Amino acid sequence: DAKTTQPPSMDCAEGRAANLPCNHSTISGNEYVYWYRQIHSQGPQYIIHGLKNNETNEMASLIITEDRKSSTLILPHATLRDTAVYYCIDGSGGSNYKLTFGKGTLLTVNP
């Protein structure tokens, strides 16, 4: 079973920031936070990962709380193409052979 907890669905208006939360209640000190997304009928796509510092790339920003029990993926200006299921995952920083995907959050971006 997935170790993270996410809301099953969220809505966001086009052009606004989408903030997707994730609880990592059992994350250990050396585990990383990974985010993926899956657009309908496509394979999942890696977005971003981090350990304890906030991270940003061309797709999104990742905020991790100081106790590392929760994280937030931020899509700064959501578009209709960002409608997808978003998965947060506890990883080991690259050495986990068996990445586990939960049910994720269905983000619907509305015009």
Partner 1 sequence: NAGVTQTPKFQVLKTGQSMTLQCAQDMNHEYMSWYRQDPGMGLRLIHYSVGAGITDQGEVPNGYNVSRSTTEDFPLRLLSAAPSQTSVYFCASSPGWTDYEKLFFGSGTQLSVL
Residues contributing to the site for partner 1 (CB under 8 A): 2, 32, 34, 36, 41-46, 49, 87, 89, 91-104
Cα(46)–Cα(44) distance, integer angstroms? 7
By C-beta, is 45 or 65 nearer to partner 1? 45
By C-beta, is 81 or 111 nearer to partner 1? 81
Would you say 94 and 12 are in contact if contact means Cβ atoms under 8 Å apart? no
Structure tokens at 63: 């905020």
Min dist CB 37 to partner 1, Å, is: 11
Min dist CB 16 to partner 1, Å, is: 27
Min dist CB 99 to partner 1, Å, is: 5
Helix, strand, or coil here: 80? helix
Return the DSSP state at 53.
S
By C-beta, is 14 or 106 nearer to partner 1? 106
Helix, strand, or coil here: 65? coil
Min dist CB 69 to partner 1, Å, is: 20
Cα(102)–Cα(50) distance, integer angstroms? 19
By C-beta, is 71 or 104 nearer to partner 1? 104
- Residue for token digits 């989408």? 18
